[in-house]
């Protein structure tokens, strides 16, 4: 069987699945992909950039490592190289990811834990933000808090936001099937009762507003830092 030849479109499709851990948005849409190419013999090169020179190294490491894993898995890619540009810890991050060393080994003597718990914390925040995005339209349409407490994921109208919420919950091993409660504790997976619902919805709204505000700030700083749009970036400059 002839192996598919990878091209830039395939690489960008893979990079669509790499999310900024704090913002829960694809790095392509955020403009973080400076360039990506693949040679005829399957050598893929990806260049990433971030809004500031001092973006948190743990966040940056996650994005570079995820990009490396996903690009390496593209059919037709024989070897992948992912490079973070213009970052104070870029050399350390790039070398660590290339060596598959992990965060602790890459930042020898400076890091004490790998980033699994950090990633999980941000996915929990994404679940909360997603909860607000699916619940606000329901409340605006006349659903009551009691209605929401009884609802299951399968009761949600079909939407991209609903599918994203399911996906984030599944990543954490939280209930994500049609019969799963719509509103759950993001740590235990237990259903939220009517009495606890107002606080839960306030937390969900605050989490969404914070993430969207941070996204706007990051996009603005990236525009100020670089004159060109990133590959795959949808937002007009």
Assign 233 a pLDDT band (cuts: 50, 70, 90): confident
Tell me if 232 is assigned to some domain. no
Q: What is the CATH number of the domain that holds 62?
A: 3.30.300.130
Number of domains in the chain: 2
197: left (phi over 0), alpha (psi -120 to 50) or beta: alpha
Q: pLDDT tens-digit profile of 177-219?
A: 999 999 999 999 999 999 999 999 999 999 999 999 999 999 9
Q: Is the pLDDT of residue 231 over 80?
A: yes
What's the rounded Cα separation, in Å, for the pair 43 and 89? 25
Tell me if 135 is assigned to some domain. yes
Q: pLDDT tens-digit profile of 107-155?
A: 999 998 999 999 999 999 999 999 999 999 999 999 998 999 999 999 9
Shared domain for 93 and 180, answered yes or no, is no
From 83, 112, 141, give the residue that closes a domain. Answer: 112
Tell me if 151 is assigned to some domain. yes
DSSP string, the chain: -PPPPP-HHHHHHHHTT-EETTTTEEHHHHT-EEEEEE-TTSEEEEEE--SSTT--HHHHHHHHHHHHHHHHTSTT-SEEEEEE-S-TTHHHHHHHHHTT--HHHHTTTT--S-SHHHHHHHHHHHHHHHHHHHHHHHHHTT--HHHHHH-BGGGSPS-HHHHHHHHHHHHTT---STTSBSSB-TTT-PBPPTTTHHHHHHHHHHHHHHHHHHHHHHHHHHHHH-SSPPTT--S--
Shared domain for 192 and 133, answered yes or no, is yes
What's the rounded Cα separation, in Å, for the pair 38 and 46? 9
Tell me if 138 is assigned to some domain. yes
Tell me if 229 is assigned to some domain. no
Amino acid 237: pLDDT: 47
Q: pLDDT tens-digit profile of 26-59?
A: 999 999 999 999 999 999 999 999 999 999 999 9
Shared domain for 198 and 155, answered yes or no, is yes
Q: Is the pLDDT of residue 71 over 50?
A: yes
Shared domain for 86 and 133, answered yes or no, is no
Give me the domain span that covers residue 132. Answer: 116-215
Assign 3 a pLDDT band (cuts: 50, 70, 90): low
Tell me if 225 is assigned to some domain. no
Shared domain for 89 and 166, answered yes or no, is no
The predicted model scores a pTM of 0.93
DSSP string, 115-144: SHHHHHHHHHHHHHHHHHHHHHHHHHTT--
């Amino acid at each position: 069987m002839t192996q598919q030849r990878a091209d830039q479109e395939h690489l960008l499709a893979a990079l669509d699945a790499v999310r900024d851990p704090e913002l829960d948005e694809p790095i392509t849409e955020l403009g973080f992909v400076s360039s990506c190419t693949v040679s005829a013999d399957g050598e893929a090169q990806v260049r990433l950039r971030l809004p500031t020179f001092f973006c948190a190294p743990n966040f940056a490491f996650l994005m570079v490592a995820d990009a490396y894993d996903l690009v390496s898995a593209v059919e037709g890619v024989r070897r992948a190289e992912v490079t973070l540009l213009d970052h104070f810890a870029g050399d350390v991050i790039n070398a660590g990811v290339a060596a598959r060393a992990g965060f602790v080994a890459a930042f020898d003597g400076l890091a004490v834990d790998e980033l699994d718990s950090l990633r999980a914390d941000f996915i929990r925040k994404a679940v909360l933000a997603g909860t607000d995005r699916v619940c606000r339209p329901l409340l605006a349409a006349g659903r009551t808090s009691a209605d929401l407490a009884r609802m299951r994921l399968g009761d949600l109208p079909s939407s991209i936001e609903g599918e994203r919420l399911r996906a984030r919950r599944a990543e954490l091993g939280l209930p994500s099937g049609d019969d799963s409660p719509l509103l759950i504790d993001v740590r235990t997976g237990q259903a939220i009762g009517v009495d606890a619902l107002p606080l839960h919805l306030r937390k969900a709204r605050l989490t969404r507003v914070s993430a969207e505000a941070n996204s706007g700030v990051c996009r603005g700083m990236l525009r100020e830092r670089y004159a060109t749009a990133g590959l795959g970036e949808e937002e007009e400059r």
